[in-house]
Structure 1
Amino acid sequence: MKKAKAISFILAAALTMTSIPCIPVTAFSAAGVNETTFVSGDCEDGQLVIPETESGATVTEVYLKNEKDVKTIKIPATVKKIKIINCPNITSYEVAEDNPYLCSVDGVIYDKDMKTVLRYPPAKEDTEFKVPDTVETIGESAFAYAKNLKKTDLPDGLITIKERAFSDTEISSFDLPESLIEIFPYAFANNTSLTSITLPASLKRITDQFHCCTSLREIVVLHEHPDEDNLSAYGPDPDGDLYSQMFSILGSVMSKDISIYVPDNSYERYLYYSWGQECNLRLLSEYEKMHDDDPDAHEDVEFTIRDGVLASVRMYRGTSVVVPDEVTTIGEGAFYHCTDMVSVTLPAGLKKIESNAFSQCTSLEELVIPEGVERLYFSVKDCPNLKKVVIPESVKQIWGFNGCENVTIYGKSDSEAEVFAVKENFPFVALDDSAPSRPLVLFSDDGTELEKFPSKYEGETYTVPEGVKRIKRYAFANCKIKKVILPESLEEIEECAFYNAASLESVEFNEGLRVIDMYAFSGCDLRSVELPESLRVIEKCAFEDNTELKAITIPENVSKLDSPFGGCLSLKEITIKRADKKAFRNLASSKELGDDETEYQGLFGDYWLDSYCSVYVPDPAFLAFEDVCNSENANVLVLPESMRGHTILDGDVNGDNEVTVADAVMLQNYLLGKTKDILWYNGDIIDEYSDMFHGKSGQIDVFDLIELKKKLLKP
């Protein structure tokens, strides 16, 4: 019997872990009663009848999964427990009247005394359902996936809502009774129709119940003094950690788009516990005023003003706000989360707007800053519907407008407003007749640095003016220009200067340039590049992802190469002019390079090429470059310059593309000093690493001649 018990336990456990319908499995209870779990059966015309016995065992449990054809289920008197997963077309359950454990009313399963709702048919056609007054518990997944259900009436005596009880439904609101004590995890998960909910003061246990409720915008919390009353994520526990309350339990629902209203007398305590969470905590009295049916009970907008400083704004009705004339300063966060405000009128005497003054005003469409304000320091942010901001000439410093991706800046030409718009890639509209014909290009005060090129530039070609020594980080990033002509004064192109300028096909370099920094031309569309002889450094990924680039020459003075060509999938030929006999990999940046030394960090980085890229180097430097190139991940073939235009063919020292006695004679004359004009690469027949990988020794001797003669003697 012990062996049978063990086997049946393993089989039953396996059934709960598989999604494949199985035959009934017999299990033995501890008392020795022969019982079984029904997992699959014949379905006739959508009706599944559960038998009382199966293979001599009593059916006490039903476990169905992925049964798409089942529409109605008849449950016998023997069944004590039922679990159904992903059977979306069930419209009704029918439990035998003499079942001592379960019952059914109108197709819904309850426990026998109807204190727990166990299963509501997911395809039941009714759009509304009234839970019987006897019910104290909504069981696990009881209403899950009830696709037609839009409203439920919960009884006053309800105490517990179990895991996923209402998950994946389209019920837009719930009236939770004051008797409710527990809400288990994911109780309302994935309910995309739920917009607002009120949590009663009676709640003692609540845990991440609103997971992925993407439309939820209001949560009203009626519980006061949560730490004193032991509101815990793990249930009432007078000796437990009293921190776990509303802001650890709401979990994944936290969002700056959600307003959480809490009792006024508990606001500071809730604020303390919500520290570090992304949410909008508000007073319960605000919510009550917003939903007050008496229009004369209070003002539509309440201002808190102290000594000319507007500290806070509370909106209860309407979409427009007119700030009183007495206000000279908009305080920090004054309009924070005024989500209904579409427009605001600021007083003419306003002098200062503090940070976050207009933060998360998600409906705000237009903002006019009055003349006299001198500074905007992150005053406006996270206003996604803001379309127009007028900034006067008095404003000399501007930061912010993060999360205002649809805004257009209006102001005078050459003003700080235009400079800011160009720097941050915002559209700009000039409010005067002297507006430039093309967007503004920004330079440093002394004209030696090009700081920002407008992404909205309409021309195809731009010539950087003479005198510019440095193009700054991201100066041309994401611009639409096709050709850039660089001046002779230019010395450095900084990191990401032309990053993702996807239309850039041509750059005309001039002598004087010394450094091309990391990612400088990454993501461009360069077709050909002619680098100046003055260039000294090409940093990591400088030309990354220029997929149309086919060939490039590295000038003789370039002493540092750091994998500049990753992602250049069409690059088939690289010519390195530097004739160093010393090439280093992973050289410490602090080490000074000698005149004949090169810091080489690779050509392609971690990128892999589908076909070989030939790298031609000066003959004297061949061995040095071949050595460091062996560590490339890409298909790189290093060749001496003397091999350009010739076929790689061991023994073909005269370059006629075949190996004959004439090659042996020429190689012999080379060894005797009678000639120097041979293709030594093809003459170096005995590879240095012949048993491991291809590599030339750089030495031609009598052994190479003997090897050549052996080749000629072979039939």
Structure 2
Amino acid sequence: MFDRKKTAAFIAGLLICAYSAVPAVNAFAEEYLVEGATEATTSTDTYTISGDFMYSLTTDGNICIEDCTSTAEDLVIPDTIDGITVTELGKTALGKDHENSPFKTVTLPASINYISADNPFVYCTQLNTIKVAEDNKDYCAVDGVLYNKDKSELICFPSCKKEEGIDIPDTVKKIGASAFYNTVLLDIKMPDSLEQVEHFAFASTNLTSADFSNTKLEYLNDYAFTNCTHLHEVLLPDTVEHIGGGTFASCTGLDEITLPKNLQTIGQYAFFDTGLTEVIIPDSVQSIGYCAFGYYISASGQTASKDEAFIIVGKQGSAASLYAHDTDSDYDYKNNFSFLTPEQYEEKQLEMQALNSTRSGDYDYAVVDGQVALITCYSTEDVITVPDTIDGKKVDAIYTSCFNISCPASEIIIPEGIKEIKRRAFYECGNLKKITTPASLKTIGDNAFDSCKALEHVEFLGVENIGSQIFRECTALKTVKADGCLQKWDDDEPFLYCIALEDITITEGSGNYSSENGVLYNKDKSLLIAYPPAKPETEFIAPKGVKEIAQSAFIRAQNLKKVEIPEADVINDYAFEECTNLTEVKLSDNLTTLGIDAFYNCTSLKALHLPESLVNIGICAFGFYHDDDADTENDEDADKLIEGFKLYTVKDSTAYQYAKSAGIEVITGTTEVLGKNVSTGFLYTIGGIIAAFILGIIGVLTGKKLKKNKAEKEKAEKQEKAAERRKQRQEEKDEDTDAEDTDEEEDTLEDED
């Protein structure tokens, strides 16, 4: 859990020396500070002296300047020395006598393409301007400040540049090593683009505050702010994961800091000799180095002393609790700091405030920022209506344990005007069954209703932010309703312990959550967050568009027998754990991730189809149950295979290999049809038969159609011939009639004659 790398670099005496001069620091901290740099490793006996310069040759045959003895105030670096192109500046290229450096201006030629990562300008204690040839392809200077060409890195702000403030360009992603070392700057505006701060970047400056809150900062390197004695405020974004060794060492004015919630490592001596008297360590922190907190320079100025009253706040069993009592006999290192959990710490804070509390009727209260905070309720009523004012002052908040195990109320009515319910405010309020909050309430703290085991119905009106585990051990909770304005619920498993929960409702609104048929989703329903464990339905089909199933989303869903998740790509850890009645699951053909214990203890689930697309599978994701009778003391594994469980998947797929390695029976060459597993070979055979049958039917129908068409054609031909014969006979008859008429006319004429 701790970085136990012991080296002279972090011995307190040498650390103290670091505050007085950079050369001393570079001497003992070099192995940390230049790791990964491409410095020449040539020994001094291979260096060449030419005029004011000492140089070595690079692997390309060009010159790397290693030292300079010029006494000129305006130093111009030549582009060639002895006819060889100058391309690099080593870490002492501009000399190493920081007390007698004469340079006020340094001009770089176009040929320079590499400058030591340790910043050779740091020894130039009289420097006020850096210039760069306009046609240099790798570096540029703006108003005397050195940058790389695209201004993504600020390399050096001259230590004697007479300015009190600077707005760093929004192109800068990195502040180089010692970039602002020993400058007179009082104010530096950090750009939103900033991601990394290198060692000694702001060391020994006159900065009073450093605001990184809007940056993308991930890494604060060693000694970044060491010896900034005027620094009293530092704001860090949650993106910061690492605070290096000695980063804030000897920042004696720094008496308060909020550590980022995603912070993972804190280096040795990181907050050595600061004004801090206590610190809250986030749960995310995995490593805390030696003397990181609670130590200061002794009165003699030669050793590190321990602040016996220093308070460490963090999660029990975390890096914070281990650091509070860390020991190492080899180095006579032993911590015995006071350690408090967050709950204990807040209670301690309230106790301090309670020293000035006032009793009025059934309540103890304190005035905080002009508003009343309720500290303790003494009412014995079954239904308690919290007052909106006490002694003429408006009630604004309900503090930790205000309503606790001694409160007999089954219903508590919170009035309009209350804005915040603090952490554990109703902790172990054992008889509470119903609570409704007003529209004025905006924040509910962690564990607010923890262990309210009789609580059945909750309605949150107006709440925008909800902490973690607010319903821990609320085993009777049945319904939860929240306004659509809810923006943040800081809990990956908000209903983990609510085994009686039947319905979750989020009303329409502009927040980040929604619900459908009693199930909790994010706003656009791409993430299914929680399915009520006691929801009575036995079947569930996820709506189209659900791409992810959250951690523990269906955990202990006791009535579920059949589930279809047709489009989800990701199913997270514990998603269906202990769904003991689940017998049938249909997953997306595009599933890529199946988390740890995703279907653990699903003892009725005997088969599962997993697609070839699945590439990420967690431990015991399927096919396992927990054997309560396992002899774990003698190393018997309690994770056992479910008898008769079969996995259906594609041969040699990730799921296939996973199941084989776990001893799970795997069946390939099948597909699911109407809930049944059917061999693909059989399907091909059946498909061929069906195809042949269909073709036969088509042939028969085609033959019949052809015969019908032929008969119809013959009939038409006969009808046509009959019609022609009738026409012919008619024509012959007409001719005979005409002939008879002619004969009659001739006879008539003869008679007349």
TM-score range, shorter chain: 0.3 to 0.5
**Radius of gyration: which is bigger?**
2
- Considering fraction of residues, name the structure with more helix: 2
What is the TM-score of this pair, normalised by structure 2? 0.32
